[in-house]
Amino acid sequence: MSWTKMQRLTIAAVLAGGLLAGCDRPAQERFPTTDRLTPGIFLDDEAERAVLPAGVELRPVYQKGIDLTKLSEGFRSRLYNDAAGYCTIAYGHLIKLARCDGTEPAHFLRGVTESEGEQLLVGDMRTAQIAVIIAVKPELTDGQFAALCDFVFNVGSGNFNRSTLLKVINAEEFDKVPFQFRRWIYAGGRELAGLKTRREREIELFFEGLPMPRLPPPVDMDLTPIDIRAGEPI
C-alpha cells in the first residue's frame, strides 16, 4: 500500500506531537521514584576511593558475580529516582546526586538496553574491584572475589575497609565470614528483606566449591546488625 504525501505528513505530525507531549509532562511523572537503594560505591568520599597501584592488574569479576549484582540491583531501562532521590538508570548506575529533570545526556533520556546496562555495571564495579584487591590479603577464589565485590558495590569501600568482615577474612577465619555478612541488613534504620537475600547470595558465592561452615558463632562475636549507610561502629 502506498502513502500519499498528506498521509505521511499527518502521521509525522502525530508522532512529533506525542513526543513533545511526553517532554511537557512534569518530571515527577516522567521519572518515577522507587525504593531502590543507591549503591554504596557512589556515596564514598573521594578520599576513601582507592587507586590501583602501578603494575597491578585489575582482576575481573567473573560472569556469575556480575549476574549476582544484576539480580540484586534489578534493571530499569529508563531513568528513575532512587530512594535517596538520585537520578539513576539500569543496574543502579548513578547519573547524578539529584533528581532527574530532563537535562540528563540524550542517550540516557532515550533509555538503555540490558546489554548497555551490563556495560555500565561492569564499569561501575571497577571501584569495588580495586577496593577488594587492595584491602584483602589472602588469595581469593573467583567466587570469593566476586562476592566481596558485590558487597562493596552495595555498602561502599569505606564501610568495607572498616568492617569486621574484612578483619576475619584477612585473619583467614573463614568460619566467621557468614555471620559477618549477615550483619549488614539494615538501611535507613530498617531491616530490609532485600538486603538479607543479597547477603545470603553473597555467602553462597563466597563458599562456591568450598565447605560451608556449619558451626555456631563464637559466644564473644558481635552480631549486632549494621546499617549499610552508617557502617560498623569503630
Q: What angle do CA 8, 12, 13 make, to 5 degrees?
A: 115
d(Cα 36, Cα 80) in Å, to the nearest integer? 10
Q: Which of 46, 73, 116, 191 is catalytic?
A: 73
> Has 104 been annotated as catalytic?
no
C-alpha cell at 87: 537520578
Helices (H), the chain: 5-24, 27-30, 63-73, 106-109, 114-124, 126-135, 142-155, 157-161, 164-170, 177-181, 193-206
Cα-based torsion angle of the residue sequence 32, 36, 39, 42 in order, rounded to the nearest 10 degrees: 30
Residues identified as active-site: 73
